[in-house]
Amino acid sequence: MDTLATIKARYSCRVYLDKPVERELLKQLVDAGRRAPSGRKEMPVEFVVVTDPQMRKTIADYTNYGKFIATAGACILVIARDVTYYLEDGCAAAENILLAATALGLASCWVAGDKKPYARQILDHLDVPANYKLVAMLAIGYPKEPGKQPAHRPLDEVLHWERFGA
């Protein structure tokens, strides 16, 4: 699948088949994430891949809107050292993973991490050092049913040339 087709095909999936995601595919996703751009080339981003069903359920239970993490085949936690551009770097890595998942025939959904009250609890549960932030949790799996990207605002409504409103 080419890049633009992948971007147009990606959607947020919250219902997954009870099927594990192969380790090799998960490695490919993390490889895509680690190749994201990094401010000042600090490369603060790391990844914790959780495939154990009980551990995924524990993570899901901490969240407000990520209960489906428990039923996904895997969860990739995008974490970053607390540096100036940790959030930008982590978000770029997360988006690379989401797009790579679509390209590999997997479904995914981004669950918020940064600034959430449960973020530190999840990191502590996974033995992540105190100088790291939870940027995102990415549910990854095989979709139970085919999905499609929701409608977006029209291009002419969001595109401005030279100045806002122009």
Name the strands in the sheet holding 132-141, side by side, starting at the edge strand that comes first in the sequence: 45-50, 74-81, 132-141, 107-112
What pLDDT score does 165 carry? 77
Residue 93: both structure tokens together: 């890595």
What pLDDT score does 155 carry? 96
What pLDDT score does 60 carry? 98
* Cβ atoms 141, 87 nearer than 8 A: no
- pLDDT averaged per 10 residues in sequence order, the chain, 166 residues: 93 98 98 98 98 98 98 98 98 98 98 97 98 98 95 96 87
What pLDDT score does 1 carry? 66
Residue 15 exposed, middle or buried by CB count within 10 Å (0-12, 13-18, 19+): middle
CATH of segment(s) 3-158: 3.40.109.10
What is the reported pTM?
0.96
Residue 111 exposed, middle or buried by CB count within 10 Å (0-12, 13-18, 19+): buried
Return the closest-CA partner of residue 144 out of 19, 10, 8: 19
In Å, how far are 34, 85, 139 from 51, measured between CA atoms?
19, 28, 10
φ, ψ for residue 107 (rounded to 5)?
-110, 160
Q: What pairs with residue 140 in β-bridges?
A: 74, 108
What is the rounded radius of gyration, in angstroms, for the C-alpha atoms of the chain? 16
